[in-house]
Structure 1
Amino acid sequence: MIDGERLKDVLVQYKKDFVPKHWQDEKYKWEALKWFQDNWNIKATDFADMLNRSFSQTYNLLASMNNFPAKMITSFAETAPEDVRSMYSDLFDESKDIYERINTFKLQSDFLLKKYGKGAGQHYQSENAITTYLCLRYPDKYYIYKYSEVKAVSDELGSDYTFKKGAYADNLRNFYSLYNEICEHLKQDDELVNLFKSQLTDACYPDPYLKTLTFDVGFYISRDYSKRSEAESSDAEWYPSPEEYAPGITTAEWIDLLEDKSVFTQSSLEIMKRIQDYGGAATCTQLAAKYGESKNFYNAGSVGLAKRVVEKTGCPVMPKNVDNSRWWPILYIGRYTAKDEKGSYVWKLRRELAAALNRVDLSGVALYAKSKGEGEPKYWWLNAKPKIWSFSDLQVGEVQDYTLYNANGHKRRIFQNFIDARTGDLVIGYESNPVKQVVALVKVSAANDGQKICFEKTESLENPIDYQTLKECPELAKMEFFKNPNGSFFKLTKKEYEFIMDIIRDENPRNSHEEKIPSYTKQDFLSEVYMTDEMYDRLVGVLSNKMNIILQGAPGVGKTFAAKRLAYSMMGEKDDNRIEFVQFHQNYSYEDFMMGYKPSGNGFELRHGVFYRFCQKAANEPDKKFFFIIDEINRGNLSKIFGELLMLIEKDYRGTKLTLAYNGMPFTVPQNLYIIGMMNTADRSLAMIDYALRRRFSFFEMEPGFESKGFKDYQQALGNDTFNGLVNQVVKLNAEISHDKSLGKGFCIGHSYFCGRTKENCTDEWMKSVVDYDILPMLSEYWFDDDSNVQRWKNSFKEVFQ
């Protein structure tokens, strides 16, 4: 419930201000509703164009200095019109719960931002924007929600409705109840209703249920009424008073002037945007200090703008002898500075000009002046609190924005650091308790815009640097973060930054690209691996599609040799820095593979495993392919080794974040990392591979390559009749093994036993050793219960050498 007497007091003042002060600036809301109703068509062929046209009269309802919901959703519609059409169709479906509709719209916007955002930090589709869409579509039912506004209204009217930051569903329910109650009071005020109707034009939505009028009263309470006494007491300080001088330019006329490039040049718009961002009033000294440029840029720029306004409109000019004092009052009212203000004279935007600025799109106007030349970057230390956000949540190239004010609206600690940082500055990324490590390198991707600053992750550290390691270094004793760690953003001197980077590079060396990496093609692969052209294409296609593959086959088919060269051929070069090789065994564990506690001094410390480090390495170069090769993959306890990675290695879950059991931090397997496993199908001692892992890998059977073109060329180059006879016998042997029901083709003899020879060293002695010490022992194992068969093949091979 609200205090009805308080609302009556508000309405008395609202009615006094309505015609002379308020309506001219605020009637655009009703015009925006009418325009939207006339142009909205969910079935429009060109949905993006229709959406843009429908929003074209909304002005600051859907745009402000640092908030661009209409612009962003329209850009999404240009890229994915059917997705956005579906979003609005669901949002406007009155058969569904309103809170679910709003939340779904936000979630879908998150998806569009990730897929089509092109690096944008946010999509701006907040509760304020989404309730605006609802109000535009159903103006007889909905109001526009804004937390700060409704909170001020509730407090001013002494209501018992509660509003808490973050409790959006409860806030919306209380908001609609509060405004419905206010609306009922307005309907009983005949004087107000008649006054309102007398001002409506054909371009305005008639607002028969007074929903928009209710919202406007709320706006008046939060922006004008609650600050009225303060404003009235301070207006006397400003010069000139309305009685002394007024240019007589209305808000609508200012809007026309703002859109006239011959009057408001680019530099003029920059001045306007910066004064507006500063709070609507500032000295030239304050503007120069915060946004750049010289004091004269703002002084002379304002005078020049005022002269162009006079030339365009013919408005009156101050009857003063001092030239500058004749011109600036067209744009501002002024006063001398107080003791604690920098500069000598404060300019305050005229009310009509300030209102016009709120209704034009200034998103393309630079808030900060461009730096003169590149110059050397500054250096910083950024502290992420894992309970709030983590560097692990970001992929390399992703951007994290950081507000300059906390949830209570207070400035961040060491606020000046946020102001001083510039695009391109270099940042050390540190995570506080429980991680307490330097985990990433970062850069400032966008200097502060008055509300936030943006950081881009440039590198994940495979081997993070512990807090204690840095704390114990005397070279860092005076570091701002170590002297007082309270805060988020700290200065580093160039020497401090370079010292930390030396430690980082000792543990995380960069790949040296001074030596040219040899190229490697499909033809190189086929000449070395002895696989048919068709089989190679099939192999690459399977791995590209699944991202995880197991090469299985008989002994000697060259699985290990082929795996590395498969990686080379898909990379297009022989870059061993992008390949990691491990071999599983019975004692291999998750702690070796991902992370675990290992003895250190008198205790234990958490150490990252080979797969964790390689994932960080791959994430640092997302445009390149990386390959993790696992030999004897079925010899390890796979569920124990992979743990929660069983889900993350799936192609559809690449890039998905999952919280790790050991450190409680998010982790993801990069989308540019391929896994190649190998297993020997002839090893009877191994259990079948874990089914959960089998689902996530494709299995590729590698066969002996005696019939491949590559092997034929190799065989011909040797020109050895004994070698030819030996190969022919092995081919016959493989045919028999393949047809043996107790064996099969997985037990065939591979070609790799016979590779790597030249004419000079392809001797009878070498060939006999292959037969006696490789092939015959294998046959004895295969046919352990059939000595006669083994003897028969022993005789056959002996005949080759006679």
Structure 2
Amino acid sequence: MNQELFQKKWNQYKEEFFKDSSIYDEKYKWDVLKQVSDKWNWNVDDKITMFKEAFEVKGRNNLWTSINYYPTTMATWFFNDFPDETLAAFENLFNEETDLLTRLNDFKKYFDNQLTLLQDKYPDKKLNYHSQDIRSMSLYLFLQNPSKYSLFKFSFVKNFADQLGMGFIRKGQNHNYIIYLEILNQIKEIILSDPFIQQYRQYNTENNLYTDESLHLLIQDFMYCSVTYNHTSEKRYWLYSPGESAYKWDEFYDLGIMALGWDELQDLNSYSNGDEIKKALYDAYGGNENKSNATIANDEFINSMNIGDIIIVKKGRKQLMGFGEVSSDYYYDADREDYKHARKVEWKKKGEWNIDQHMVVKTLTDITGYDSGLDDGKKYYEYLLSMMDNNLTKYENEHIINLLQYKKQIILQGPPGTGKTREAKSIAQNMLGLDEKELQKSEQFKIIQFHPSYTYEDFVRGIVAESKGDKIEYKNVNKILGEFADAALKNYLDSKKIPEQVSKENWVNTQYVKFKESIQKEIETDNEVLIKEGTKPKITFVEDDSLRVNRYSNENDSVLVKDSDIINGYIGLYLSEMTSKIRNNELLSKSARSGMYYLYQNLVEKFKKYLDENNLQYSTTNETKKIEKKNYILIIDEINRANLSSVLGELIYALEYRGEEVESMYSVDDSLTKNKLILPPNLYIIGTMNTADRSVGHIDYAIRRRFAFVDIIPKDLTSEMEEGKFYTDLFSAVKALFTENEYETKSDFISQEFEPKDVALGHSYFIDKSEEGGEMKVRWNYEIKPILLEYVRDGVLKADALGQINEIENQFTLKIE
């Protein structure tokens, strides 16, 4: 097993697990399995009724019901028509005296045989498949004996084993289930001692969820999510033709699916590998032509493609039709007339774009690793997506990105409706390598909006009051930019460290979490924990980021000791090449280095004692992986609506001199920089500014000098959108109120003190939104015309523009009677 990749995936999974907005949409499993397991009892006399009622649950039941896959419904049908025989089949499946592979094969064989009888009995019903395959068998076995079995689906286990280099053997899916159980136990041994497991069990108990004592559901979910919900680095890009000459494209787009033909193969879940698919293709379609491409297409469609992958649709060899994101697993839709192998797709864009290069002929091709062939260092999928002007990668943004990387902070300026915020997010997606959904959840991205009452204390650092029992404590804290800059700085500094140093810090942090847990248990028992024998100071409470300790001078008073001080104090004393004493350790807070340093020294010694008593010692064999430097991007919408000089304060200097310390008016103990502020080189700031808003504050020269200003002007979107989705003629008519060409020459209607590029209405006002109730008349009367009339009142447009506005209204019949 690739231990490094396994640990990476496990850490990603743990990080997402408890989040309410987790990218893993699988939490329903614990809820429904709790409901089913509470009712499951194979020892009752009326097993058939028990079976039916057990699967009647509230909420999602995707584990046993999806499109054309309904094993419990079909099993119930067999129970009704063949009760004794079907009961016997289940009894044999649960009989532990028979080897597992025999039981699995016999169970499926029974339903294969009985299905023919059922089809004869109900000829008018579409009984194509009984759904009693290894997926459903694993469900029944798991419910009957959760300590031994687990849920299984061949595709996710195969992909997981392939990615981790676990040598997965493809001997037929029933045999693979046995191998899967071996993998499951191997993973259990690795994760059993992880502190996360205790949190996981407590979480299930507190939320009345399936307890999962065996951890088999957790491991199954970890494996499934690791390969199904793609992280950016694992996302794949596919070039796909929806039928010959894309004749199925309109249908698939409307249905939100993609699908393959070769319907004679029936459900692809019944095949264990590509060789079985190839044999079935020859059996079904005959012929002497090579079936390699068809085999690869079907095999990859079920086994390699994942939720989150990007599908690029083509017609022929020189035309693109759109793109979308895969949103479901494979399913076989027997109710469709043709193209029954399907996946759901969230289509993002539809249109027609001609390209100069010849695309591959195949129906489905994984193009993730293909180069563009343009000597620009870009991937082929980046080139194709850029041709469709999408939000994932935009070649036209490249000069702005280069400017941002040089200047570190830019402002996108333009009139209303030009998509400045959208453009800023697109740049962030490009620089972080994320799609739109991933961007919103990324810790490397933040977006905020300024307003006139915004202050330094809201944005950088300030004072907060915290209630501590009957007392109020005031503390200096980092605010939005302070916190974000700290995170970026930590990553930047870690990326400069040798891997062993990072490994030491990670190890100490992990052990310290366990130390705090042990302290918490002692407090729950004894109400307090003595720090050192023969002294008075005690730990009285465990906070999220600190320990509450009574003072030396007053037993009834207390002080907060930051976790970071204890951790850095330990590293300085025991894991550094040059010992750094508490009083001299610059990484510690002023409190730690003050007259109370003996208190901090004793806390570090208590932590060391805990490590010694538990035989925990850092070893150079621990993982020593170099930290990769990451980009951090902050978008400030409407940046000119606040008084920037006041909001930024001393950071005006830090913007220009990245990486240099600036004295702060607030000292924050748990910040990396204490009483200093640093904007690291990997922190980028993108502001947006509405140039038509005359009511906002002026940006002074000192700030202007530190930002690069980029014009975002209105543009005609006719060629980029579906026919009828952009009001081309209306856009041109309104544009003529401001300019005679491309916003360089003023029209006769605009006042001389205004530039067309600063006040012309943006293209977003002219996008059809009929499906949302915003058809052309509505947009004109309630969005476009009010701004134009406001421009006349404010002197942006001359008074004689009123006549032209009315003429436009009449020309396009826009007046609402």
TM-score of the superposed pair, with normalisation by structure 1: 0.30
With CA pairs under 8 Å and 6+ residues apart, which has the higher RCO, 1 or 2?
2
Point out the structure with max Rg over C-alpha. 1
Output the TM-score relative to the length of structure 2.
Answer: 0.30
